[in-house]
């Protein structure tokens, strides 16, 4: 192996590690994306089941029993929250895929720069490594926003049902998204 090949390999280590990290992150985010996708499909199916009568006819919301209407209200509030998270997760994955592509190009540029002893191509390679790193960090920021939003739907469901019997007994309306219950005692 020539010294040029060794130089190329050692110069490629950092972008290869970043590329591998991006791949691992995207795989984890794809699992989250699939889980949210599956849950939204389940909720949509549940919504259709609640609105379907015994003969297969589509029921008016008022023809649904009260517990079914309550569940429909929960689904109607949670699905937009989950859809927002789904979109953020998709954006994070696509951003990280972009970073992986840029890092892949940087690795090729490093090989060419070392092989051709080109300072100009070396600078381009460095710029690509830096751009790939920045894009990866941006993808992580989007993933963090998605994670921050992930609790919204479950928090809504828990808060909405937590005091449900007490609220109904008092004649109080059920929670709207973003509302919290504060009961004394």
| Residue at 17 is within a domain | yes
- Would you state the structure tokens that stand for residue 172, as one six-digit string? 């109080």
Residue 8 confidence (pLDDT): 78
| Residue at 114 is within a domain | yes
Residue 174 confidence (pLDDT): 53
Place of tokens 């994070």: 92
| Average pLDDT rounded to a whole number, residues 53-78 | 91
Domain residue limits at 39: 3-170
Backbone φ, ψ for residue 173 (5° rounding): -70, 155
| Residue at 180 is within a domain | no
In tens, the pLDDT along 165-185 reads 665 555 545 555 555 544 444
| Residue at 184 is within a domain | no
Residue 11 confidence (pLDDT): 82
In tens, the pLDDT along 75-85 reads 999 999 999 99
| Residue at 183 is within a domain | no
| Residue at 15 is within a domain | yes
Place of tokens 């998605």: 146
pLDDT tops 50 at residue 105: yes
How many other C-beta atoms can be found within 10 angstroms of the C-beta atom of residue 47? 17
**Mean pLDDT score of the chain, rounded to an integer?**
86
Residue closest to 163 by CA, chosen among 152, 154, 172: 172
Has this prediction a pTM greater than 0.85? no
In tens, the pLDDT along 21-39 reads 999 999 999 999 999 999 9
Q: Reduce the secondary structure of the chain to three states and give it as a string.
A: CCHHHHHHHHHHHHHHHHHHHHHHHHHHHHHHHHHHHHHHHHHHHHHHHHCECCCCCECCHHHCCHHHHHHHHHHHHHHHHHHHHHHHHHHHHHHHHHHHHHHHHHHHHHHHHHHHCCHHHHHHHHHHHHHHHHHHHHHHHHHHHHHHHHHHHHHHHHHHHHCHHHHHHHCCCCCCCCCCCCCCC
Highest mean pLDDT among 1-10, 56-65, 131-140: 131-140
If one counts the domains in the chain, the total is: 1
Residue 184 confidence (pLDDT): 43
- The residues, any chain, with a CB within 8 Å of residue 19's CB and separated by 6 or more, are 100, 103, 104, 107, 132
Residue 162 confidence (pLDDT): 76
Residue 150 confidence (pLDDT): 85
Paired residues of 58 in beta bridges: 52
| Residue at 39 is within a domain | yes
């Amino acid at each position: 192996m020539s010294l040029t090949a060794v130089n190329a390999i050692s110069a490629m280590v950092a972008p290869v590690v970043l590329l591998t990290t991006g791949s691992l992150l995207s795989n984890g985010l794809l699992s989250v994306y699939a889980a949210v996708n599956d849950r939204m499909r389940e909720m949509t199916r549940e919504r259709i089941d609640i609105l379907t009568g015994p003969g297969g006819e589509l029921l008016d919301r008022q023809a649904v029993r009260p517990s079914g209407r309550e569940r429909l209200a929960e689904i109607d509030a949670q699905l937009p929250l989950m859809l927002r998270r789904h979109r953020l997760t998709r954006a994070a994955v696509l951003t990280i895929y972009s970073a992986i592509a840029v890092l892949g190009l940087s690795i090729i540029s490093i090989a060419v720069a070392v092989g051709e002893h080109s300072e100009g191509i070396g600078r381009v390679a460095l710029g690509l490594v830096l751009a790939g790193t920045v894009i990866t960090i941006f993808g992580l920021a989007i993933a963090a926003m998605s994670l921050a939003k992930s609790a919204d739907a479950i928090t809504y469901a828990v808060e909405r049902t937590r005091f449900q019997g007490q609220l109904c007994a008092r004649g109080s309306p059920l929670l709207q998204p973003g509302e919290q219950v504060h009961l004394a005692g």
